[in-house]
Amino acid sequence: MAPKTEHAYRVSAWWTSGRTGIAKSDSAPNAIHFSAPTEFGGLEGRWTPEELLLAAIAGCFTTTLRAIAWNRTFDFTDLEVEARGTVRKAEFGYSFSEILIRPKLKIASSELRQPALELLQRAERLCLVSRALDVSLKFEPQLEAAEAVSLV
């Protein structure tokens, strides 16, 4: 049986009140409560869309590296991936001006430094979430009016 060459994922987000909302995935039982950043009037203590993007990048890098290491039977003792983003005022609104991925990989011995570095570089090239930042975005707005439409 040939491996599947296409996979689909879906997340829905709803506005709840003020500058807050919830997001739900088809694959996870729990919703994520999010808010605009506090700098833009959001609630403190909630995930922001900006943080969720960075979490997606860090999570993808982590799972990508683990898969590559498993395929190469490369063992490491720990992995922490920090993702930092800088948002700046742009001509039209705000924009990420830089995203830094800082993986910290712990290995058993210094002899493993070169293969570990190659593993990290390969994960950086293959992480599909960070590669998706270069993909074109399709936009398909839909409108629903609450009142009945008369055809007369």
Q: What is the pLDDT of residues 122-145, one digit of tens each?
A: 999 999 998 898 777 777 778 676
Mean pLDDT, all residues of the chain: 90
Q: Give the structural domain span for 38.
A: 10-47
Domain count across the chain: 2
Q: Do 65 and 33 have their domain in common? A: no
Question: pTM of the predicted model, to two decimals?
Answer: 0.85
* 72 confidence band (pLDDT: 50, 70, 90): very high
Chain position carrying tokens 């293959």? 126
For the chain, counts of helices (H) and of strands (E): 3, 5
Q: Do 127 and 55 have their domain in common? A: yes
Could you tell me if residue 73 is left (phi over 0), alpha (psi between -120 and 50 degrees) or otherwise beta?
left
- What is the β-pairing status of strands 11-17 and 32-35? unpaired
Q: Report the percentage of the chain scoring pLDDT > 90.
A: 71
pLDDT of residue 146: 79
Tell me if 16 sits within 8 A of 22, measured CB to CB: yes
d(CA 78, CA 72): 17
d(CA 48, CA 84): 13
Q: Do 58 and 93 have their domain in common? A: yes
Q: Do 128 and 87 have their domain in common? A: yes
- pLDDT score of 152 more than 60: no
3 inside domain: no
4 inside domain: no
- pLDDT score of 36 more than 70: yes
- pLDDT score of 27 more than 70: yes
Q: Do 80 and 20 have their domain in common? A: no
pLDDT of residue 85: 92
Q: Do 97 and 39 have their domain in common? A: no
Helices 49-71 and 113-126: crossing angle in degrees, nearest 10, is 130
Tell me if 97 sits within 8 A of 86, measured CB to CB: yes
Which phi and psi (to 5°) does residue 64 adopt? -65, -45
- pLDDT score of 25 more than 70: yes
